[in-house]
Amino acid sequence: MRILLLEDDYRMRSAYAARLRADGNTVDEVRNLAEARASLDRVAYDALVLDRLVPDGDALELVREIDFRSGRPPILVISALGEGDERVRGLTVGADDYLVKPIRLEELVLRVRKLLVRRTPPSQGPLVLGRVAIVQQHRHVTVDGVAVHLTPTQYAILELLAISLDCVVTKQHLLEHCWDVHGNLRANPLHSHITRLRRIFDGCLVFESVWGTGYALHVADAV
């Protein structure tokens, strides 16, 4: 899942982002409302985590703007303004949750997970791709019932390809949804992760390279 994180304090932003990434999310970090608006104009996010008071204003202004959009992402507001009236105000203007500073990183992750679960339509069960099963809510993958360990990036790539089974997913789409805007793509080339996934799921899944376009995932027995 891709998350926009607005926090002007560098140390807090880094701590929040690191913990959210460790939970398997892609996180784009911004420092002010102007950067947040620019990111929202070019990326469709799965959730927003917004610190209220930043140098160029109150993030509730942004919440009001987003609340009028169709298909808007769920929003978690974080603030040192913890009085009851302030929390009510945040929820009234359109925030889905309101967390008061100081916050524990584990609580932040749990709150974000709940927002993402609400956003994801309920399914009848795991994604079953032949011998492979993917439980999206828990980011849990098995082969013949045995758990498979994947890095957050490997899981994100697999999930995105699995959702579009037998259809081509462009490289650009994979990069946009599985890497941070500020991530070092040279250190994490897409083809290297695909190569590792091929080894992990050898005999179960086929990761087809579509020259000049992207990749398509197929169930091995169905190819």
Check whether residue 108 and residue 148 sit in a common domain.
Answer: no
For the chain, what is the mean pLDDT?
Answer: 87
- What's the CATH code of the domain at 68? 3.40.50.2300
Do 16 and 114 lie in one domain? The reply is yes
> Of 119, 142, 170, which residue constitutes the final position of a domain?
119
The number of domains in the chain is: 2
- Of the chain, the end-to-end C-alpha distance in Å amounts to 29
Residues 106 and 136 in one domain: no
pLDDT for the residue numbered 175: 80
What mean pLDDT is predicted for residues 195-215?
93
- In this structure, are 205 and 140 located in the same domain? yes
Check residue 78 and give its pLDDT: 95
Domain hosting 171: range is: 127-222
What mean pLDDT is predicted for residues 54-69? Answer: 88
Over range 59-82, report the average pLDDT: 85
Residue 149 has pLDDT above 90, yes or no: yes
Q: In terms of domains, do 109 and 143 share one?
A: no
Judge residue 138's burial from the number of C-beta atoms within 10 Å of its C-beta, 0-12 exposed, 13-18 middle, 19 or more buried: exposed
pTM of the complete model beyond 0.85: no
Cβ(74)–Cβ(118) below 8 Å: yes
